[in-house]
Chains A and B, each alone.
Chain A
């Protein structure tokens, strides 16, 4: 038994971890699952308990048959589920293709991207990962490998289904052609939350990728002040002459690593307050046409290996919710409350979502999403987040399962209206409940 946690390093539970290297091996290993069932795990970037299975079996799929192919005509990529988006970018960018969606880290597997229906800075324009999928190969409870397409119920129960319908073994999705591996970026500072919302609403559609970083520790008239980063893939003619010689180069700098041990409480109100002030102060008031690499633009935190350790031994929770457009008051109330409570959150991001996918448990919906990290141990945190759950639910919003580590089964049932439909499809595909996780037990999925 190996103790496992999610990226937030909270609530560890032990499981038997096995590493299949092929779909056949994975099918054979399903038979090893006992009464406690099995769930697939990728690179462990879900923050909570999605890829944990207390007392049961966890299939570590990061080594699952690393293979990929690209149709140079259409940009259709077929990749095994264990490939990470980092591996794919390394392979595809020099050929002039980019993944259709990347979350804030490249270190997620294709299988994980499907299971969480991940979104990125282009959600308002391009929706989430599932929207670009053409087919899936899914290992189901009966040990068979099924090929599924967007016409199948089980396909949309699997997209966003958190690995509870089976083991995703392979996925085919459309990539986007790019002329360069750089981004053309506009940076703009806003003075408060109202301006942030206004500027995003007015200008998001001019960019493929946008996100706002909010300084949650700013109070009073500066509450909600933000740095907006918005960009597109740079065209060849937009690169400085020197970069044009190798426009598709992709070699993120070697990663720094967080020290193996960090004193608890390193990230506190003083240090994060200072960091936030510096970050905000350093950002240009309004700068256009900055040329940036893919890595710093999309994945700033990937530059520090194991950054999750910076939160100390008790770990941290990430709270990410979405509320529909029109429910801006709920967003304001939550930001106000966080700001007043002095909640120490490093890198709080705000983003506008566009259309969701038909994934029954998929998170995104048109509206505003806010994501914040909070170290465990702040007084009153549990009660405050539970209160937020109620506000979010009342506004017709919900929480992101890939980030969640603490909501209740009741909140889940109240905020995912298609949960019953999903359960019915899952029961058909897995009548004995072979696939199960700590998250599934906690939320009674």
Chain B
């Protein structure tokens, strides 16, 4: 249960090796969370650091591309943790648009993970949270989905779908005691973007995690990281199409 000062007790991370995900979990553990499930492909995830901080950590096998396994996984996590206070689906793949252009099947597969996987995992988690009458689901969207660019429109369109899904889900959960925290980071420097040139206003996984934890505590429903991306994208969204088309990246 979340306590009066916003600390939570249990955390489920889907995509148990995600840098952003682990950075959020670590902060929640430092603030008092005592039980964690890391769900990751192959059933391996870096649990030691969290254990050193005093948390009881379980690692479960999880495959984001197999939606039929997601409801059972949520139940298994709940069996380990009790009520799920925070659920963070943080899995995702980022391929290059050039590769997708040549390999439509790979593109569809990645969209299935980046969007479809989040839909099945998100709905399975939401069902459990709704029954509990409390809990928070963190949805990691991206500014790439706020207005899709030609430079990465496969990834961007999956994020656009996820962003819409999260908004609708948040509205459908209104009044149930369950919260959705929709996170829209800009370019995140890290393992997922290694080898790419950082975009302006890029951030680190730690900065995203700080913003997520702040939102979990304050009750904010939508978080832009960094915060100034919000006014920037208010403008980006309404740029004329032929200007947007010329965006270099």
Q: Evaluate whether A14 and B131 lie within 8 angstroms (CB atoms) in the complex, with A8-B4, A381-B5 already known.
A: no
Residue B96 CB within 8 A of the other chain: no
Residue A36 CB within 8 A of the other chain: yes
Residue B152 CB within 8 A of the other chain: no
Contacts of B133 in A (CB 8 A): 1, 13-15, 36, 54-56
B135, closest chain A residue (CB): A54
B60 CB to closest chain A CB, in angstroms?
21
Residue B51 CB within 8 A of the other chain: no
Complex Cα distance, B217 from A11, in Å, reads 11
Interface pair B1/A441, CB less than 8 Å apart: yes
Residue B6 CB within 8 A of the other chain: yes
Interface pair A55/B131, CB less than 8 Å apart: yes
Interface pair B4/A1, CB less than 8 Å apart: no
A441, closest chain B residue (CB): B1
Interface pair A405/B3, CB less than 8 Å apart: yes
Residue A3 CB within 8 A of the other chain: yes
Indicate which residue in B4, B130, B134 contacts A406 across the interface (CB closer than 8 Å): B4
Residue A48 CB within 8 A of the other chain: yes
Interface pair A442/B132, CB less than 8 Å apart: no
Residue among A315, A376, A408 with most chain B CB within 10 A? A408
Given A13-B133, A49-B4, A409-B9; 15 other pairs, CB 8 A cutoff: A10-B4, A11-B2, A11-B3, A14-B133, A35-B131, A36-B131, A36-B133, A54-B132, A317-B4, A317-B5, A376-B5, A381-B5, A386-B32, A409-B34, A441-B1
Q: Residues of B with Cβ closer than 8 Å to A?
A: 1-7, 9, 31-32, 34, 82-83, 130-134, 175-177
A-B contact pairs, 30 of them (CB 8 A): A1-B177, A10-B5, A11-B1, A11-B3, A13-B134, A13-B177, A14-B133, A14-B176, A14-B177, A15-B133, A36-B131, A36-B132, A48-B4, A55-B130, A376-B4, A376-B5, A382-B32, A385-B5, A386-B32, A408-B9, A408-B34, A410-B34, A438-B1, A438-B134, A439-B1, A441-B1, A441-B82, A441-B83, A442-B1, A442-B3
Q: Residues of A with Cβ closer than 8 Å to B?
A: 1, 3, 8, 10-15, 35-36, 48-49, 54-56, 315, 317, 376, 381-382, 385-386, 405-410, 438-439, 441-442, 444
Q: Evaluate whether A55 and B132 lie within 8 angstroms (CB atoms) in the complex, with A8-B4, A14-B176, A406-B7 already known.
A: yes
Q: Interface on chain A toward B: helix, strand, loop, or mixed SS?
A: loop
Q: Evaluate whether A408 and B32 lie within 8 angstroms (CB atoms) in the complex, with A1-B176, A13-B134 already known.
A: yes
Interface pair A55/B4, CB less than 8 Å apart: no
Interface pair B177/A3, CB less than 8 Å apart: yes
Interface pair A54/B177, CB less than 8 Å apart: yes
Residue among A36, A48, A439, A442 with most chain B CB within 10 A? A442
B180 CB to closest chain A CB, in angstroms?
16
A443, closest chain B residue (CB): B1
Complex Cα distance, B8 from A409, in Å, reads 11
A317, closest chain B residue (CB): B4
Interface pair A1/B175, CB less than 8 Å apart: yes
Interface pair B5/A406, CB less than 8 Å apart: yes
Contacts of B176 in A (CB 8 A): 1, 14
Contacts of A48 in B (CB 8 A): 4
Complex Cα distance, B3 from A444, in Å, reads 13
Complex Cα distance, B5 from A55, in Å, reads 21
Contacts of B4 in A (CB 8 A): 8, 10-11, 48-49, 315, 317, 376, 405-406
Complex Cα distance, B9 from A441, in Å, reads 10
B8, closest chain A residue (CB): A442
B9, closest chain A residue (CB): A442
Contacts of A12 in B (CB 8 A): 177
A15, closest chain B residue (CB): B133
Complex Cα distance, B177 from A12, in Å, reads 8
B32, closest chain A residue (CB): A408
Contacts of B1 in A (CB 8 A): 11, 49, 54, 438-439, 441-442
Complex Cα distance, B34 from A385, in Å, reads 17
A32 CB to closest chain B CB, in angstroms?
15
Contacts of B175 in A (CB 8 A): 1, 14
A388 CB to closest chain B CB, in angstroms?
13
A427 CB to closest chain B CB, in angstroms?
17
B174 CB to closest chain A CB, in angstroms?
11
B130, closest chain A residue (CB): A55
B36 CB to closest chain A CB, in angstroms?
14
Complex Cα distance, B66 from A422, in Å, reads 44
Complex Cα distance, B174 from A1, in Å, reads 12
